[in-house]
Amino acid sequence: MNTFTKKVMSVGEMASGAKLTVPVYSFVSENASGPNVYIQANMHGAEVQGNAVIFQLLELLQHCRLNANITLVPYANPVACNHKNGEYTLGRFDPITGVNWNRMYHFDESVIEPFSQNYIDATEEDINNDFRALMLNEIEQKLDHNIFGLTTGQRIAYQLQRLAYQADIVLDLHTGPISSKHLYCPEYAQASANYFDIPHTLLIPNDFDGAMDEATFCPWWSLQQAFEKQGRKFTMGQGLFNKESFTVELGSQEQIDLDVAKDDAVSILAYLHYKGVISNDEYQPQAMTRYACYLNDYKALYSPMGGMVDYLAEFGEVLAAGEPLARILRMDNYGDGEALHYVSLDKPVIPILHFASASVNQGTELYKVFYNYFELPES
Ligand SMILES: [Zn+2]
């Protein structure tokens, strides 16, 4: 039997004293032999679809045979989630500091080298337990033993990170602005991308830039590298280092679609089945052509001019070199100049997302595209 619990985590206070809280749902498995899982959604305010995916996961997981513990956190960032302006939700940046909410997680690489030296001959079990304890202690120190305090966003991020550090597999559910589904996947975990029903994968290097996925896989990656330098070899994704984190981009912001959410929940369950988290064989990945692209080749195309944009390129389909991505309308030029300007690129690309508004300034990020893409090899 699995035990299901709901808790409410307090992540801060508003000026009036009102509490900022986040619901935390957990399945605790009786025989937790597989990797534990942490899934959160809505760290960015307008990116709400992950909440619907968590709803569908909660519904489906009740009927699954679990080999591990699973923690699910919708509404991960209540400040961003509630930050409306007119008809729109803002909430990709802290309105006070201007910092991206998903760049506030903590990882101090200087703890890795000393740990690897002290544990060079330790058992895998001791390394696993003590390194996890070390990383949790790092967060505890930040949260509770810091006389200078924390920003609102850091306080939220570190509390989420404390939950994530107790898991081996972390999924951070986001969306693009107007977007197709795509997956941010660490390069070492490329094989796992075949188990999500997501046709486009971005392979990210093993660098820490403050995001949740990096904050949870980079410590283990760095530790594995430090051991290797001293002659002790481990493989990322296996055994002690069976740690993976992904940012799952579910589509467009400002949208809830419960039917699509069910498809995405099933896709996540296929991945969790592959990792041994659940033993329900009915969850299998769909056959599809999956494309990948390295992060360096994931290019933003900035608008060459101000104007009104007619977005032309379809998401997820190869657009031939020279074919227009968009046309920009400039009514001020009508009659004595060019009223229409076409935007294209020099190579075939796969458009993944575009800006959410039709009116843009010169320099607005118009599209993001896979520039040098390739078919993801089947594992
Ligand atoms: Zn996001």
**pLDDT tens figures, 79-135:** 999 999 988 998 899 999 999 999 999 999 999 999 999 999 999 999 999 999 999
Q: 176 C-alpha to center of ligand 1: Å?
A: 6
Quote the CA–CA distance of 94 and 149 in Å, as a whole number: 17
State whether residue 368 is helix, strand or coil.
strand
- 246 Cα to the center of ligand 1, angstroms: 12
Ligand 1 geometric centre to CA of 43 (Å):
7
pLDDT surpasses 80 at 194: yes
**Domain 297-373 maps to which CATH number in 3.10.450.50, 2.40.50.100, 2.60.260.20, 3.30.365.10?**
2.40.50.100
| Dist. CA 74 → ligand 1 center (Å) | 14
pTM: 0.96
Residue 149 makes CB contacts below 8 A (sequence gap 6+) with none
Beta carbons within 8 Å of 98's beta carbon, 6+ residues apart: none
Decide whether 3-289 matches 297-373 in CATH topology: no
User: How far is the centre of ligand 1, averaged over its atoms, from the C-alpha of 23 (Å)?
Assistant: 19
| C-alpha of residue 93 to centroid of ligand 1, in Å | 10
Q: Distance, CA 175 to ligand 1 centroid (Å)?
A: 6
CA of 47 to the centre of ligand 1 (A): 6
| Averaged pLDDT for residues 313-335 | 96
Alpha-carbon distances, residue 32 vs 26, 64, 70, 167 (angstroms) = 13, 14, 10, 12
Given 3.30.1360.120, 1.20.1250.20, 3.40.630.10, 3.50.50.60, which CATH number is that of 3-289? 3.40.630.10
Confidence of residue 207 (pLDDT cuts 50, 70, 90): confident
Asked if 162 and 22 count as a contact pair (C-beta separation under 8 A), the reply is no
Strands (E), 98-204: 169-176, 178-179, 182-186, 200-204
Domain ranges of the chain: 3-289, 297-373
What are the pLDDT digits (tens) for 334-365? Answer: 999 999 999 999 999 999 999 999 999 999 99
pLDDT band at 315 (very low <50, low <70, confident <90, very high): very high
Let me know how long the chain is.
Answer: 379
Sign of the dihedral defined by the CA atoms of residues 196, 201, 202, 207, in that order: positive
| CA of residue 174 to ligand 1 center, whole Å | 4
Ligand 1: centre distance to CA 77 (Å):
11
